[in-house]
């Protein structure tokens, strides 16, 4: 009996056809090993997280019911709080998309906070010195923020692709470098001489992102920008061949290389896009909320974006809903702190609980 000839490597140079690409369900089955995709798991996690927060209030609050009411419903008690929720959600959508783009391509960008900080600084400097006003300055500032975020993640991306250095460690450490670098630049070059704080000069009102609610509400047109970006991200990952290949290269790199898909290239691009989105989030925060770069302006938007991405199951449209929910709780936490003795930091307790619950493989298994 004659044996079949051994397989050759000719397929590595051949273009990938639609017949060669495995069904998307296989990729998402692989994804569940990292982040379970059941909607029920997100709902259960949020409910349990809020319950844990209420239990904590029972021990620390003088009036637990009043504190809990402010935490859950404080956002909807006045127009300003609603506007604050919209403004916060706008930034969270971008940082969550930054995390999701990396996760879905097999990369873990933990450095969104640093990219956001430097992006915000770049936006403030460019908008204040662009030589133009209005929408022209806004576009230049937001582009500068995006490019800065992408450039800041370039070194961790190269280390990951070329030397297989763990991007979790490198992007995390770059957060601290970014914070110190921003502090140095503002203190020595861009500081407002009329302010005692570490901040840049206030931006002219003409370069602010236009408000969509009456002042002093911070809700701005950035919310429409992030909705468009989220829809484009959904189309890219779920409706284009390039997006499907990027996801396959991240979740099954060996199989992707077998089919001739350059997984390293897609990994680098996904990290660059992730960093750019985080930088853009900083630009939107500066132009739409603070109107100058202020040291410490971010209440950990970058890390909170990871939580929002997980709640939204790494799906762009799910992230929109998750960001609105989490922003509502953040705004409610501010109202809670004002009306009770429970601090705002309870939000970070909720963040830790949610991440713990959502990444558990056992929780909500039937929904996966």
* Short-list 60, 58, 145, CA closest to 98: 145
Q: What is the CATH number of the domain that holds 231?
A: 1.10.3470
pLDDT tens-place string over residues 124-142: 999 999 888 889 999 999 9
Task: Tell me if 305 sits within 8 A of 230, measured CB to CB.
Answer: no
**Is the predicted pLDDT of residue 22 greater than 50, yes or no?**
no
For residue 159, what pLDDT band results from cuts at 50, 70 and 90?
very high
Question: What is the residue whose two structure tokens read 């603070």?
Answer: 290
| pLDDT exceeds 50 at position 8 | no
Q: From the centroid of its chain, how far is CA 68?
A: 27
Considering the domain boundaries, does residue 349 fall inside one? Answer: no
pTM of the model: 0.85
pLDDT tens-digit map of 280-326:
999 999 999 999 999 999 999 999 999 999 999 899 999 999 999 99
The pLDDT value given to residue 360: 67
* Structure tokens given for 196: 């005692």
Q: Is residue 350 part of a domain?
A: no
313 φ/ψ sector (left φ>0, alpha ψ -120 to 50, else beta)? left
76-108 pLDDT, tens digit each: 988 999 999 999 999 999 999 999 999 988 889
pLDDT tens digits, residue range 168-199?
A: 999 999 999 999 999 999 999 999 999 889 99
By the 10 Å C-beta count (0-12 exposed, 13-18 middle, 19+ buried), 47 is classed as exposed
User: Taking 60 as the threshold, does the pLDDT of residue 362 lie above it?
Assistant: no
Whole-number Å distance between alpha carbons of 51 and 58: 11
Q: Quick check: is 50 in a domain?
A: no
51 assigned to some structural domain? no
- Which tens digit of pLDDT belongs to each residue from 241-265? 888 888 877 777 766 667 667 778 8
Residue predicted with more confidence, 44 or 155: 155
From CA 279, how far away is CA 124, in angstroms rounded?
12
Q: Is 238 a domain residue?
A: yes
**Is the residue at 83 inside a domain?**
yes
Q: Is the pLDDT assigned to residue 59 strictly greater than 50?
A: yes
3-state secondary structure 77-131: HCHHHHHHHHHHHHHHHHHHHHHHHHHHCCCCCCCHHHHHHHHHHHHHHHHHHCC
Domain extent at residue 180: 78-328
Taking alpha carbons only, the member of 228, 223, 225, 269 closest to residue 246 is 269
Residue 149 above 90 pLDDT? yes
**Number of domains into which the chain is organized:** 1
Is 343 contained in some domain? no
Confirm whether 1 is domain-assigned: no
């Amino acid at each position: 009996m004659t044996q079949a000839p051994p397989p050759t490597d000719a397929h590595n140079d051949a273009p990938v056809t639609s017949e060669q690409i495995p069904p998307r369900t296989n990729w998402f089955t692989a994804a569940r090993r990292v982040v379970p995709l059941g909607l029920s798991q997100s709902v259960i996690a949020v409910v349990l997280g809020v319950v844990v927060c209420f239990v904590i209030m029972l021990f620390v609050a003088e009036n637990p019911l009043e504190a809990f009411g402010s935490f859950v419903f404080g956002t909807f008690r006045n127009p300003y709080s609603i506007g604050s929720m919209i403004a916060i959600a706008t930034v969270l959508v971008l940082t969550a998309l930054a995390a999701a783009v990396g996760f879905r391509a097999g990369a873990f960008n933990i450095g969104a906070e640093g990219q956001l900080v430097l992006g915000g600084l770049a936006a403030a400097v460019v908008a204040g010195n662009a030589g133009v006003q209005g929408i022209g300055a806004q576009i230049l500032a937001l582009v500068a923020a995006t490019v800065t975020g992408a450039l800041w993640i370039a070194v961790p991306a190269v280390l990951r692709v070329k030397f297989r250095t763990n991007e979790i460690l490198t992007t995390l450490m770059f957060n601290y470098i970014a914070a110190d670098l921003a502090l140095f630049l503002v203190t020595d070059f861009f500081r407002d001489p009329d302010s005692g704080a570490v901040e840049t000069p206030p931006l002219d009102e003409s370069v602010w992102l236009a408000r969509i609610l009456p002042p002093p509400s911070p809700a701005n047109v950035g919310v429409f920008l992030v909705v468009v970006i989220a829809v484009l991200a959904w189309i890219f990952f779920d409706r284009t061949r390039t997006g499907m290949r990027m996801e396959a290269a991240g979740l099954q790199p060996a199989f992707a290389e077998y089919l001739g898909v350059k997984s390293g290239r897609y990994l680098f691009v996904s990290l660059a896009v992730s960093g750019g989105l985080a930088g853009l989030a900083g630009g939107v925060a500066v132009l739409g909320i603070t109107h100058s770069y202020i040291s410490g302006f971010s209440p950990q938007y970058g890390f909170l974006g990871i939580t929002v991405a997980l709640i939204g199951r790494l799906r762009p449209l799910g992230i929109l809903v998750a960001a609105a929910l989490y922003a509502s709780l953040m705004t409610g936490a501010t109202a809670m702190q004002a009306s009770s003795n429970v601090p705002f930091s309870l939000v970070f307790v909720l963040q830790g609980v949610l991440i713990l619950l959502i990444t558990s493989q056992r929780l909500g298994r039937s929904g996966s």
